[in-house]
Structure 1
Amino acid sequence: MTIMTMLLPESTNAAYRGHPAAPWGLTALGILTIVPGAIHAFLPDGGAGVIAGLDLTHNATTIIGVFAWVGATQIVWGLTMLAVSLRYRSLVPLLLALILVERTIIALNQWVFKPGDGPDRPPEAYATLAVIPVVALLLTLALKRRA
């Protein structure tokens, strides 16, 4: 048994019975998670200043470090989405449900519980609001059984 077959056992795609649009939507979500993850992990300021417009005159090292940490987790989460959407489709409903929980918590924190001091919000605050209904639709499609 090779390391690749140990890391990536047989595909479960044949066991998936949901709508075919759901795994493809998860593929898109995976790519759209990896890209900002790479920006956060590899841009010199993690996108904190040049994209999010955060003031880096105070605590820049901490802010950039947190952005890099979040970027690393986004890359891994996005790769997980791709693995499930392309090879382990029986897990598509579970991953979409987890993404829905994640995005809901993020939105609640960004808009209700911890909205910040100023009116400016990072682009992700708005993207999250757009993604929640899309993920809910994809989850509904994934749970809908085909004959």
Structure 2
Amino acid sequence: MGKPTPSRLALGLVALLGAINLVRGAIHLFAPDGGLTAIAGLDLAAGREIVLFFIGAVGIGQITLGAVDLLVAWRFKSMVLPLLLVHLGEQVLGLFLFFAWRPLPIAVPGQYGALFSFALVGVITVRELLRGKNDGAN
């Protein structure tokens, strides 16, 4: 029994969601104000509420991706390598943010966690990529 092929509607929706997330993520990362003032019209002088809202939004993304990670590890094992590649890209962008683009004025635990995660995810992803090539050669 082969793997079911997703419908064109489902594929289209996933592609659309991917495009939307790439655009809004790029705006939040690269726009001088992250889009907070120019697009959303937020007054950055009201800093605490804005910071707490956006760290909550980060948490939503982390919870969602964590659920996807567990679902893939438990049920959809064929997606492990693509998901590792997603995580590796996330780690690279996180390092770029922490150390090059918008470094914080003080050191925070997350930046050291990002270095550790990049190394761990990178090594295991490369191992899995090489493992896949070795398995295909047999």
Regarding TM over 0.5, the answer is: yes
SS in 2 for 1:121: coil
CA distance in 2, matches of 1:135, 1:92: 12
TM-score (norm 2): 0.60
Q: Distance in 2 between matches of 1:121 and 1:94?
A: 31
Structure-2 residue corresponding to 1:79: 67
Stretches of structure 2 that go unaligned for 5 or more consecutive residues are 5-44
1:93 paired residue number: 81
- Relative contact order, CA 8 A, sep 6+: which one is greater? 1
Unaligned runs of 5+ in 1: 1-8, 11-56
Aligned to 1:125: 111
Match of residue 121 from structure 2: 135
- Fraction of identical pairs, as percent: 22
**Which residue in 1 is equivalent to 2:99?**
111
Bigger radius of gyration: 2
Q: The residue matched to 2:89 in structure 1 has which SS? A: helix
| Secondary structure at the counterpart of residue 103 of structure 2 | coil
Q: How many residues align?
A: 91
Using the TM superposition, give the Cα deviation of residue 86 of structure 1 relative to its aligned residue in structure 2, in angstroms. Answer: 1.5
Alpha-carbon distance in structure 1 between the residues aligned to 2:95 and 2:126: 20
Tell me the TM-score normalised to structure 1 length: 0.56
Deviation (angstroms), 1:138: 1.4
Displacement of 1:87: 1.1
Q: Runs of 4+ in structure 1 displaced over 4 angstroms? A: none
For residue 107 of structure 2, give the secondary structure of its aligned residue in structure 1. Answer: coil
